[in-house]
Amino acid sequence: MPETQVPTEPQRLRALEHANAIRLARAELKRRIAEGDVSAAEVILECPDAAIRWTVSELLLSQRRWGSTRCRKFLERNGVS
């Protein structure tokens, strides 16, 4: 049976630093969307690194006054799963 490789300490720290940087970038982008500095359309068209793995619903929910019900109805009405 092959042994599971445990990442070396520096590699693990780099991965943690990278994950933290992505979390901070996502939080900043969500804040900018909520404040109206950036639109959801801009995020879709430009797709910054922080938003690469976001779902459309996660992006929509970042907007001010967009709750789960409004988001779900919008996605259903537009045929987005």
Chunk the chain into consecutive blocks of 10 residues (it has 81) and report each block's average pLDDT, rounded to whole numbers. Answer: 69 93 95 96 94 94 96 95 81
Query: What's the pLDDT at 2?
Result: 60
Please name which of 63, 21, 68, 19 lies closest in space to residue 42, comparing C-alpha atoms.
63
Query: What's the pLDDT at 40?
Result: 95
Prediction pTM value:
0.76
Query: What's the pLDDT at 57?
Result: 94
Query: What's the pLDDT at 9?
Result: 83
One DSSP character per residue, the chain reads -PPPPPPPHHHHHHHHHHHHHHHHHHHHHHHHHHHTSS-HHHHHHH--GGGTT--HHHHHHTSTT--HHHHHHHHHHTT--
